[in-house]
Structure 1
Amino acid sequence: MIFVLAFILILVFFVFFETRKTGKLPPGPTPLPVIGNIHQLVYRAWKGKGIVAALDFYRKKYGNAFTVWLGPIPTVNITNFVTAYEIFVKNGKKCVDRQLAPIFEHHTGGLGLLSANGENWAEMRRFTLLAFRKLGVGGAQMEKRIMDELDGRCSELNQEISQTGRAIVPVQFFDLTVGSVINTLLVGKRFDENTKDDFLKIKKLFDDSTETFNLFDLNVPVWLLKWFFPWRYNLTWNARQNILNHVGKEAVERLERLDSGELDSREQEEPKDFVDVFLKKMKEEREKDGGGDKNYSMSSLKFVLHDLWLAGQGTTATTLYIGFMRLAVHQEIMQRIREELWKVTQNSRPLTLQDRPNTPYLNATIAEIQRLASILNVNFWRINSETIHLDGYEVAPGAMMTAQLGALHVNEEMFENPEKFDPERFLRDEKLIQQLIPFGIGKRSCVGEQIARSELYLLDLS
């Protein structure tokens, strides 16, 4: 009897404590002690056949800002553009750091882009954006990389047509095309018929790695994994190390050749790819203070290459494939795009990035494909470092906040008839395209956004 009373008292305390803490937060489903709303979120995702449906259910019930408790931690979810812009752009300094799984922080040691915070992340983001500018991302150099890759892929299709009378465009076509563009930018090598097995190996390593992690691994302390579940710890550790070693193989070989004098360091003055830019910076840091900056080490380079691969390959390839399937169904939209492109190019030259202002319907179609593709269904949560006020509510430091892109992109207050594939919605309201944020918003938006936008424009329908 005493134990039952003690349990009831603890339960009442937890409920009272949670209610006190949620008093100033945006509304949301009532949480249970310890587990929060996880059980309700799982049920809604099952009933709605997806996490986007679950988040959209809570948006419709509680408004464009609602709170869901993931265990003992409140997560404030924003599902409209105006509020997201206010929090993550105007007040972006308050919400910079990401909520990271302990195992990810342990694996990366604070290096890289995706699973890093603080000054390490800020320095590497600045460097990566600068390196991309040097390599012509968003301009003529990037355009040439993409078009060279497209020419290579199409020549293979033409060869298949000449041999068999037809060509089948599998999902792998899009994966390989995007992967080859990224690989060319990062290490200066494209994947052709002789080397595409290397791409397939990289992709398999990434796919296998995502399957090694489960919710348990992502939420428990690392020491618990090491001591009580060493096989789980070793599985995740080995999977990550295999990827890092593979994506960093070219960089390691190039550094060895530089250190041995086999490769002329003067070649680094005109960098051909990201590894060249990074190794040059690494050398400068070594000469400057002897020991070098840990952000500019081979370990750091491997993590950055890993993150750029992970963030850029699958998302863009999937968007291209979804766009291909949508346009195969909507032939009338495809025909209108062709007419627009024929008019712009006079049917005598390839499309270029400079044509963007003159192709409003193509731009609108790509935007609609991205809206419906909604690749990042659940956006990364960020930890607010200061109190944030929104719509009469108050979010104390330490909560998690995010713009939930999946739910935002089906918000009928912004996108009329959101389930309909309708590119013209962006022509009827030109401001609407600014409220589409498939690459995230604020300081933690996708660092490779310019690369992806260039690929979507030049590859989607060329």
Structure 2
Amino acid sequence: MFFALIISALLTWLVVRQYRKVSRLPPGPFSLPLIGNLPQIVYYLWTTGSVSSTFDLFRKRYGNIFTLWVGPIPHVSIADYETSHEVFVKNASKYADKFHAPLFAEIKNENGVLATNGDHWQEMRRFALQTFRNMGVGKDQMEVKIMEELDARCADIDKQAINGVTTTHASDFFDLTVGSIINSILVGKRFEEHNKQEFLKIKRALDSAFELFSPFDLTVPIWVLKYFFNRRYTNMINLNEETTSFVAKEACERYAELKKGNYRVDKEKINDFTDAFLLKIQEGGENRDFNIETLKTMIIDLWITGQETTTTTLISGFNQLLLHPQVTDKARKEILEVTDNGSRPLCLADKLSTPYLNAMIGEIQRHASILNMNFWRINHEPTYMGGYPVDSGAFVTAQLSALHINETVFENPKKFDPERFIRDEKLLQKVIPFGVGKRSCLGEALARSELYLIFGNLLFRYNFKPHGKLSTEEVLPYSFAKRPFKLEMQFIKI
């Protein structure tokens, strides 16, 4: 009898405690103590068929700001632009701290920019942004690098052509193009005949890992992965080490020569990110922020994020363009007019003269919307968001996968319709694939330049046809990030 009373009292206390917590948060489905909304989340993932559809369902039921309890922790999702901008831009400093998946924290060891907070993160982000600016990212200098790589890839395609037609996997073409760009920025080396197959092997292994990586891996404690999913854990650790060794090889060799006194960085001639980083070590010695381990982590952080977002968007985009040839024709017509019938390459200075191409890329980014589930920020103090109270300790985010298919913002959101941005020019501002606030993508300026130059210049150089099946469905809708259908297509020289 006494034991039953103890259990009843404990359950009552848990229910009352949960009710009080729920009252200090935006609306959401009924949650249970300790396990929260895990049963509903699993059920709706199964019935809706994807992570993004599940978020969209909760948005429709509970509004543009809703709460889901993942176990004992409340997660507040914001699915409209105005509130996202208010929270993460106007109050950016409050939401600079990001929740890091235990697996990320284990791999990164409190180095770099992806899985750190505080002073180290601020220093690394500030250094990276300044270095990219000095290297001309978003300016004419970087445009030259992007066009050099695109021209090199197009030359390879043309060599392989049979009667003017080359059939290739879109992923290989875009991985090599974008990979060479980011690699030359980071370590001054591009991918050529002697090393491109090794790169593609590493990239395919990374793709496989991303396809396996799920919201489950983002939330469980590291000991659960180690002891109950050891093979999965070991594969991820080994792949990270293998990828880092490959990507940071040049940087490690240069660092070793610097330590021996055989290499000096000329501060008047910084060729890449590695040189800029090594100059800090050369001038001030190694410290908590500037050391070889941090350099390796920064390179892999920037390499993966710079590679994945852009290549995924390009592949997703060509899936859409092959399904909507009228969009391709209209964009090509505009590009030809701007470039004097293709007598010169399209350049970044042409952006103001290509409203339809800009709209097309915006619509591609809205549909691609790379992350099924956005990274969570930590709310450190009680506040209000969109008129709702949000208690301290809650995780908050702009849930981009739900925001980009919000029918109150984007009419008929499932339709691929670049014209929506011609009808309403301000609507393009509400496509935010790179995130908002202080934790937005470091490489946004580079990615925007790449997308504009690659889409634009390919469209007037080639016609495109699918080789096999076409689809805009996600390959693995339950994964953390979206993976587009693996497209094989034909490049037909114009």
* Band the TM-score falls in, shorter-chain normalisation: over 0.9
Closer, same or farther in 2 for the Cα pair 1:160/1:60, shift >3 Å? same
Distance 1:213 1:345 in 2: 43
Structure-2 residue corresponding to 1:282: 281
Q: Is the 8 A contact 2:335 2:456 kept in 1?
A: no
Match for 2:318 among 314, 324, 327?
A: 324
- 2:393 is aligned with 1:359: no
Q: What is the match of residue 126 of structure 2? A: 126
Matching residue of 1:404: 399
Answer with 38-47 or 227-236: which moved more. Answer: 227-236
Matched, 1:170 2:164: no
Q: Which residue of 2 aligns with 1:289?
A: none
3-state SS, counterpart of residue 323 of structure 1: helix
Q: Tell me the secondary structure at the aligned position of residue 113 of structure 2.
A: coil
Unaligned runs of 5+ in 2: 458-494
What is the alpha-carbon distance in structure 2 between the residues aligned to residue 89 and residue 366 of structure 1? 24
**Residue 304 of structure 1 pairs with residue 298 of structure 2:** yes
1:433 aligns with 2:394: no
- Whichever structure has more helix as a proportion of its residues is 1
SS at match of 2:346: coil
Whether contact under 8 Å (1:55, 1:407) holds in the other structure is: yes
Partners of 1:284 and 1:153 lie apart in 2 by 38
> Partners in 1 of 2:385 and 2:242 — Cα distance?
44
**C-alpha distance in 2, partners of 1:176/1:133?**
24
Q: Partner of 1:140 in structure 2?
A: 140
Counterpart of 1:389 in 2: which secondary structure? strand
Q: Return the offset for 1:342.
A: 1.4
Secondary structure of 1:77's aligned partner: strand
Aligned length, in residue pairs: 455
Point out the more displaced range, 189-198 or 431-440: 189-198
Q: How many angstroms apart in 1 are the aligned matches of 2:351 and 2:127?
A: 28
Counterpart-to-counterpart distance in 2, 1:297 and 1:333: 49
Q: Supply the distance in 1 between the matched residues of 2:228 and 2:346 (Cα, whole angstroms).
A: 58
Q: How does 1:21-420 map to 2 (within 5 A)?
A: 21-161=21-161, 163=162, 165-171=164-170, 172-207=172-207, 209-210=209-210, 218-222=218-222, 234-266=234-266, 268-286=267-285, 292-347=286-341, 348-420=343-415
Change (3 A) 1:430 1:69: same
Shift of the 328–5 alpha-carbon distance from structure 1 to 2, 3 Å rule, reads same
Shift of 1:447: 0.3
Deviating more after overlay: 256-265 vs 9-18: 256-265
Local SS of the residue matching 1:58: helix
Which deviates further from its counterpart, 250-259 or 20-29?
A: 250-259
SS in 1 for 2:397: strand
Q: Percent identity?
A: 50
Which residue in 2 is equivalent to 1:422? 417
Match of 1:242, as an amino acid? E
In 1: Cα distance, 2:413 partner to 2:92 partner: 28
TM-score, length basis structure 2: 0.87
Kept in 2: contact 1:374–1:409 (CA 8 A):
yes
Match of 2:434, SS?
coil
> 1:357 Cα shift?
0.8
Matched position secondary structure for 2:122: helix
What is the RMSD computed on CA atoms of the aligned residues? Answer: 2.1
Q: Is this contact kept in 1: 2:373–2:401, CA < 8 A?
A: yes
Shift of 1:273: 1.2
C-alpha contact 2:29 2:37 (8 A) present in aligned 1: yes
Compare 167-176 and 385-394 and name the one that shifted more: 385-394
* Amino acid paired to 1:391: G
Counterpart AA for 1:443 = K
Name the CA distance, whole Å, in 2 between partners of 1:407 and 1:184.
Answer: 35
C-alpha distance in structure 2 between counterparts of 1:156 and 1:226, whole Å: 44
Shift of 1:195: 1.7
